[in-house]
Amino acid sequence: MMSLSGFCKHKRCANVGASAFIVFILLYVSPSILRADGTTAVLQSDQAFVRSFLQKDAATADKLLAAHFTWINSAGKRLTRDEALETLPSVANADVRTEGRLYGASAVIRANKGKVNVLRAWVEGADGWKILLYQEVTQVEKSESPGGDSSGKCLNPCQEIPFQPATASEKEAVASWQGVMRAMAENDLAAYARLIADEFTATDTHHDRPYTKADRLAQIQKQKDSGKHNAPPELLSAEMFDLGETVLMIARERRSGAKAYFNSRMWVQREARWQMLFSFNTRIE
């Protein structure tokens, strides 16, 4: 099992520029990924995290935040661990039922209500479960065009990125992600489907609801039928965390002529390849 200090040392940055009612619902996961023995512990830690912020209990919060914890609110404001502990900002959707999945020594917990989506990524270390990412996305009432380059040309991120992954798993996850970006630019449904997990969801500020894998494939098919192409957004900077069976990336990206945003993604290794579990996209207002 990878310790908290073990995964933190793999972090690399590219500088280009309450409720006790909360219930943990374990959804379908591949049996090889599910670890039922960790369910209770991560649930308790997640509930304690929510309570500590609601009650402004910095001492408890301090014990639950990972060394490189990141907080991103729905306006795209990003806080470091120290900044979050100093301000203890409000937790969105603190009173809703949560949905969660376990992936080895990491867990993804969601608390969604209406247009407001919340994702919390946890990692298990030698001293228990620690939260690595808290992120909010408030979706629009009616989906809007994300904009971007309609030429379909994709250099960054399809061929090169301003970031160097540190570990073998990070490099493989990045290669998988670049394969997804090329598939989207080239309207290649088969290549896209192979690299996306069945439980994948894409939650974007400019959409009115989370999109499933099937939704994304339908989008690509529609794009293909129209004969049009869209270039993926450029990567501006990134951090990656090698969590053993999963890899987490917190990226800052921008489409041509549009506002930058934070896009967090996680990959899991299945059938000798890395598949993307989610894309969680918060526009920086």
At residue 230, the pLDDT reads 86
Residue 174 maps to a domain: yes
Residue 160 maps to a domain: no
- 95 and 189 fall within a common domain: no
- 274 and 173 fall within a common domain: yes
Report the CATH number at residue 30: 3.10.450.50
At residue 62, the pLDDT reads 98
Coil/strand/helix, residue 173: helix
Domain limits for position 276:
168-283
Q: Model pTM?
A: 0.86
**pLDDT tens-digit series, residues 97-138:** 898 999 999 999 999 999 999 999 999 999 999 999 999 999
Would you say residue 19 has pLDDT above 90?
A: no
Domain total in the chain: 2
Q: How confident is the model at residue 43 (pLDDT cuts 50, 70, 90)?
A: confident
Q: What is the mean pLDDT of the chain?
A: 87
Q: Which among 94, 143, 139 is positioned nearest to 116, based on CA atoms? A: 139
**Continuous segment of H or E residues that includes residue 235:** strand 234-242
**Number of residues written out for the chain:** 285
Q: DSSP label at 37?
A: G
